[in-house]
Amino acid sequence: MLPGADVFTLVMDPEQLPPELAGRSVTTSILQRIPGAKRMHRHLLPLYPFAVEQLDLSAYDLILTSDSGPMKGIITHQNAIQICYCHSPMRYLWDGYHDYLSGMKRWLRLPFSLAAHYVRNWDFVAAQRVTQFVANSRYVAKRIEHFYSRDSTVIHPPVDISRGFLADTHSDYYLAAGRLVGYKRTELLVKACTRLGRRLRVAGSGPELKALRRIAGPTIEFVGALSDDDLWNEYAHCRALLFAADEDFGMVPVEAQACGRPVIAYGRGGALETVCGRHHGTPGDLATGVFFQRQTVDDVVNAMLEFEAHESSFSPIAIQRHAAQFSTPIFIEKMHRLIENTLAQHPGLQETSHPEARKRRSPRNPAAA
């Protein structure tokens, strides 16, 4: 969207830099100098506030921050505009704090608690530096209001649904896709399919893989991390996607629906905005999936049986049409409109910005991301 914008980030692995950013000016923080920072950046939480505030963005009038952590805390000149696209307030500092704490080794709890208290207070202050918040879901917008006392505009993130296709035939397997980490609750899906004797293909890798293999029955297949093409092929040919996570948005259900496949999902978080659940009295051709209300094996089993009882009523064409509202072009159009509207509310920006910033600013690059 902004091909001339300079890029600032806490830590960067040059080998993982997306091709779209090749040739851009990319500035990293002081954390980049710490040996092993690319691998252990999550352990540097106490240093985040200091590192972010050392990034010098005084030469820019418009800053877009992509934030699920500290980036909104950058310091700008007083007339600059910061539009923050917030993926989520940091869960391990806010509503997920006690869950993260209880899952830690005992000797780590005190230092984490002390660091979290400091960063949590700073995070609230940092949120007040934002000109305009954009939330990636209504679920996140409520959390922004609750934790930061700020309003936000909801613009769902871009999903490349152009890769989706309707397969001529479908197999009899269910699909679980994503990184195998604890909060995804993939073990519920493995246990439910093992109990029912249903085929489940698990696409992805992560620290939970060994534990999942131990509880898996003979109908469970672990296919590992897949290429994009192979993953979309799995979406298109599965019976339905199983999704047990409480996600802020969750792109996987949208990708599955872009292939016309129904979703059986935990009825909380972003899934409530991306999946149209089947309810009694709701016409089948308007539904794109089935929800379960608790993260238990019994609830997953019951939702799967409900889906199977009404499987023929789901329309792949209608499901794919539903997914179209989350496409990349729609995201770009909405973001452009929001940026233009925000700029329009600050008509004197170029004339009133910091004098040193005016001297340093490149006419081609008035923005940073």
Which H helix or E strand runs over 119? helix 106-127
C-alpha 334/C-alpha 221 separation (Å) is 40
C-alpha 126/C-alpha 67 separation (Å) is 11
How many residues make up the chain in this entry?
Answer: 369
pLDDT at 346 > cutoff 90: no
Q: What is the CATH code of the structural domain delimited by 161-325? A: 3.40.50.2000
Q: Which are the contacts of 278, defined by CB distance < 8 A and separation ≥ 6?
A: 284, 287, 289, 290, 306, 307, 310, 313
**How many percent of the chain have pLDDT more than 70?**
92
| Number of helices and strands in the chain (H, E) | 15, 13
The pLDDT, as a whole number, for residue 348 is 62
pLDDT at 351 > cutoff 70: no
The pLDDT, as a whole number, for residue 38 is 81
The pLDDT, as a whole number, for residue 363 is 41
pLDDT at 43 > cutoff 90: no
Instruction: Spell out the domain ranges in the chain.
Output: 7-158+327-368, 161-325
Long-range contacts of 359-367 (CB under 8 A, 24+ apart): 360/58, 360/59, 361/59, 361/60, 361/61, 364/4, 365/4, 365/5, 365/6, 365/25, 365/60, 366/60, 366/61, 366/62, 367/2, 367/4, 367/5, 367/6, 367/60, 367/61, 367/62, 367/63, 367/64
| Cβ atoms < 10 Å from Cβ of 256 | 32
Q: Which are the contacts of 107, defined by CB distance < 8 A and separation ≥ 6?
A: none
pLDDT at 320 > cutoff 60: yes
What pLDDT, in 10s, does the model give residues 191-234?
A: 999 999 999 999 999 999 999 999 999 999 999 999 999 999 99
C-alpha 294/C-alpha 206 separation (Å) is 24
The pLDDT, as a whole number, for residue 349 is 62
Residue type, 79: N
C-alpha 160/C-alpha 178 separation (Å) is 16
What pLDDT, in 10s, does the model give residues 50-92?
A: 999 999 999 999 999 999 889 999 999 989 999 999 999 998 8
298-327 mean pLDDT: 95
pLDDT at 149 > cutoff 80: yes
The pLDDT, as a whole number, for residue 285 is 61
The pTM assigned to this predicted structure is: 0.87
Q: Which are the contacts of 363, defined by CB distance < 8 A and separation ≥ 6?
A: none
Q: Within 13 Å and on the Cβ side, how many CA atoms surround 103?
A: 9
C-alpha 139/C-alpha 142 separation (Å) is 5
Q: Which are the contacts of 94, defined by CB distance < 8 A and separation ≥ 6?
A: 120, 143, 147
The pLDDT, as a whole number, for residue 6 is 92
- Residue 21's pLDDT band, with cuts at 50, 70 and 90, is confident
> What are the residues facing 176 on neighbouring strands?
202
- Chain-centre distance of CA 54, in angstroms? 26
What pLDDT, in 10s, does the model give residues 250-303?
A: 999 999 999 999 999 999 999 999 999 876 445 556 899 999 999 999 999 999
C-alpha 363/C-alpha 301 separation (Å) is 59
Q: Do domains 7-158+327-368 and 161-325 have the same CATH topology?
A: yes
The residue assigned the tokens 């001339």 is 4
The pLDDT, as a whole number, for residue 41 is 80
The pLDDT, as a whole number, for residue 353 is 43
Any idea which fold 7-158+327-368 has? Rossmann fold (3.40.50)
pLDDT at 323 > cutoff 50: yes
Decide which of 358 and 99 is more confident: 99
Q: Looking at 33-37, 125-129, 133-137, 359-363, which range is the least confident one?
A: 359-363
Task: Classify 150 as helix, strand or coil.
Answer: coil
Dihedral, CA atoms, 268, 274, 280, 285, nearest 10 degrees?
-160
